[in-house]
Amino acid sequence: MKMSENNDFIQLPPLKKDTPSAVVAFMWEYMKVPENSREKVKNLIKAVHENDMKLEYKAPKLYEVIPKEEVAEIEEVMRKTIADLVSEASGVACWVYVQKYMKHKTLDDMLQEWSEASQFILVMNTWFERLMADQYDEIKE
């Protein structure tokens, strides 16, 4: 069956359960290649495999060298920013957990109490409910 270039859908044939996900992902991307180019791609892949051929990598001739001091400064700022975000997120997550499961507050109560963190409270509340539902399902089994 020939796939039309205008078709918006891809349907892979049935695959064995133990097919590695990387192989499935590659097949999926391969099927997105225009039909008239697939044979070239397939032949190149075969050649690489069969001949232990190395694909030629050409380093760019023109590129900007960024001073390592500049990169180090940006890296340090990003590390601190990410650490602060993780710390703050952990604090809000703990607060939501305590409010929800220890103080038995509703979502509306929490949102009214700390409106500045409303989006994060919504996310954490949903996440905790899913997590607890999954644990409850495991206990039932």
Same domain as 113, residue 92? yes
Residue 126's pLDDT is what?
Answer: 93
**Same domain for 134 and 81?**
yes
Higher pLDDT, 99 or 63: 99
Question: Mind listing the pLDDT tens digit for each residue in 117-137?
Answer: 999 999 999 999 988 887 766
The mean pLDDT of the chain is 84
Domain count, the chain: 2
**Model-level pTM?**
0.46
Domain co-membership, 73 together with 32: no
Residue 73, Cα to own-chain centre: how many angstroms?
27
Higher pLDDT, 19 or 6: 19
132/74 same-domain check? yes
For residue 94, the enclosing domain spans: 68-140
| H-state helical runs in the chain | 21-32, 35-51, 68-97, 107-113, 118-140
Same domain? 95 vs 55: no
